[in-house]
Chain A
Amino acid sequence: MKNSGKIITKDLNLFIGKQHILKNVNIVVPDNKITVILGPSGCGKTTLLKSMNRLTDLYPEMVLSGQILIDDKDILKAGAEVPEIRRKMGLLSQRPYPLPMSIYKNIAYGLKINGVSNHKELDDKVEYYLRLANLWDEVKDRLREPASTLSIGQQQRLCLARGLAVDPEIILADEPTSALDPLSSNAIEKQFVKLKSSYTIVVVTHILRQARRIADHIIFMYLGEVIEQGSANKFFNYPEMDKTREYLKGAFN
């Protein structure tokens, strides 16, 4: 393993008009760990996550500067292959957005656009990833049904499976459990812990308890700035900054 980390940002700044949203963000996201981005609402967590797979391109008002290195390659450089960069990062959003097609096709979609066309192979992979996301048993008899008929918790796991199916190296999850009931949240959290040996996982959350449960590495943000980052153990037990201590005491909630 490189000592440098899977995702590294260098002096990342993001403006929306005159508003300074991300301020000199320098972070290191380690490989094969769960990194949790913590921080109060509006501090720029989602924006940071979106800049990592260049979904910020969709918002012309956002002006980025600095570097985002993924495997030591700067993805903000012109000429970067954006679809390929995005494929390497599965995105799980705050609420699930299944594709408007059947459960089966939701998984097969990403496989197909990435060149898998053999039916047997598709069937096998669909089953494999549905199992990986812990959804197979619930949907195996209704694969041809529209994904819209699933419950929200099932939809979120479908989105996880769909994201995993394109063989990413990184999973970016933006408050992936905020629309879910405690049981489904639990299922997703367990999934992350199970998956972390093969992926780099970045989870945005503002639930401290969730961070304590799953985090190996913490990035704490406040008003667009990274206040503190480091191992979860150190962060929760020996925080360095006053802001962190206040936050851990629940001062911002």
Chain B
Amino acid sequence: MKYFRYKEEKIFRVLMLVSTLFIVLALAIIIFSILYKGLPMLSWEMISQTPKGGFYLGKEGGILNAIIGSFYLSVCSTLLALFVSLPLALFMNIYLKRYKFVLNTVRFFLDLLWGVPSIVYGAFGFIIMIHFGLRASLLAGIITVTLFIIPIMVRAMDEVFKTVPVGLYEASLSLGSTRSETAYRVFLRQCYPGIITAVLLAFGRGIGDAASVLFTTGFTDHIPVSLMQPTATLPLAIFFQLGAPIAEVQERAYAAAAILTFFILIISILARLSSGKFQRNKINF
């Protein structure tokens, strides 16, 4: 018996090791192949110029339009989603806490929405656009991506707020705080690192998604100067370049992918740095 229990422990250790290795390896291979194929094509021209005529047939130019487009789109959508998600997640965990049935129903529908493929959001955004007589534009893309990442952000934050112990909630209330003071002055501080993770998760999904922007944002070679103009995005730029019949253009797609990855990396690091102080203040229960 004893022998078996030790054996079991060993098996689990090996399993854990194998799955960790598998994930790290998969990540390494993805990043390596992107860099291996992309880095040689990565040039100053690529990130400083918009496509010239025939870019997708191997002519000159870069993808500055898509870089800027993706930047506008993802930052705006993430901020908009944050404005909706943070109050909602707090509301769920402070005011709705009493109403378990309502709360679980809300969670259930958010989980459903999380599971809906982004192309469906794209199609939905498309219907809205047509209804309001909008053309494919930065605005339509922002709205669609915002809708698409809200469930992700809310549920991720919700899981973080759930970890706040009842005792901390009670402590704050018994000092005479109202529930909203408790929400914004205690929960937010305690959960700041987790909130950042939730925002990053949503940001990553938003910036990397092609299907939701395919119909709604459209594509163009120009840098957008208004919300009403169609806008290029990195995922679609990669998609179009990969679809080109010319090897060189296909390789440029990897350079674009490298830029996208780099973008996410920078944002992640910045966000992590910002949560350091709160990480120290966080009470570990």
Contacts and interface: CB of A to CB of B under 8 A. Distances in A.
Interface stretch (B17-25, B95-103, B231-239, B246-254): B95-103
A173 B172 CA distance: 15
B98 A58 contact: yes
A99 B168 contact: yes
B163 interface: no
Interface in B264-284: 278, 280-284
Interface stretch (A7-15, A35-43, A85-93, A123-131): A85-93
B160 to A, nearest CB: 13
Contacts of B124: none
B178 interface: yes
Contacts of B190: 100
Contact of B283 (A50, A100, A114): A100
A93 B280 CA distance: 23
A60 B99 contact: yes
Contact of B166 (A58, A89, A100): A58
A83 B178 contact: yes
A166 B176 contact: yes
A100 B278 contact: yes
Contacts of A110: 175-177
Interface string A25-53: 00000000000000000000000001001
Nearest to A89: B174
B173 interface: yes
Nearest to B173: A86
A109 B175 contact: yes
A97 B175 contact: no
Contacts of B283: 97-100, 147-148
Given A87-B175, A100-B278, A58 B170 contact: yes
A208 interface: no
Contacts of A101: 189, 281
A17 B181 CA distance: 31
B171 interface: yes
Contact of A93 (B100, B171, B177, B285): B171
A92 B173 CA distance: 12
Given A93-B171, A95-B167, A100-B189, A114 B281 contact: no
B219 to A, nearest CB: 45
| B98, B171, B186 — most chain A CB neighbours (10 Å) | B171
B256 to A, nearest CB: 41
A86 B283 CA distance: 23
A78 interface: no
Contact of B176 (A57, A87, A98, A100): A87
B280 A146 contact: yes
A82 to B, nearest CB: 8
Given A101-B189, A109-B185, A55 B175 contact: no
Interface residues of A, number: 33
B114 interface: no
Contacts of B167: 93, 95, 97
B128 to A, nearest CB: 38
A100 B280 CA distance: 9
Contact of A91 (B170, B281, B284): B170
A91 B177 contact: no
A91 B177 CA distance: 13
Interface centre among A83, A87, A89, A109 (most CB of B within 10 A): A83
B284 A83 contact: no
B91 interface: no
Nearest to B181: A113
A70 to B, nearest CB: 14
Interface in B52-94: none
Nearest to B278: A100
Given A98-B283, A109-B185, A58 B169 contact: yes
A113 B171 CA distance: 14
B165 interface: yes
Given A58-B97, A58-B169, A97-B165, A163 B281 contact: no
Contacts of B284: 148
B166 A53 contact: no
Interface of B: 97-100, 165-178, 181, 185-186, 189-190, 278, 280-285
29 contacts: A55-B170, A58-B97, A58-B98, A58-B170, A83-B173, A86-B175, A91-B174, A97-B165, A97-B168, A99-B172, A99-B189, A99-B283, A100-B168, A100-B186, A100-B189, A101-B281, A109-B185, A113-B176, A113-B177, A113-B181, A113-B185, A146-B282, A147-B283, A148-B282, A148-B283, A163-B174, A166-B175, A166-B176, A172-B174
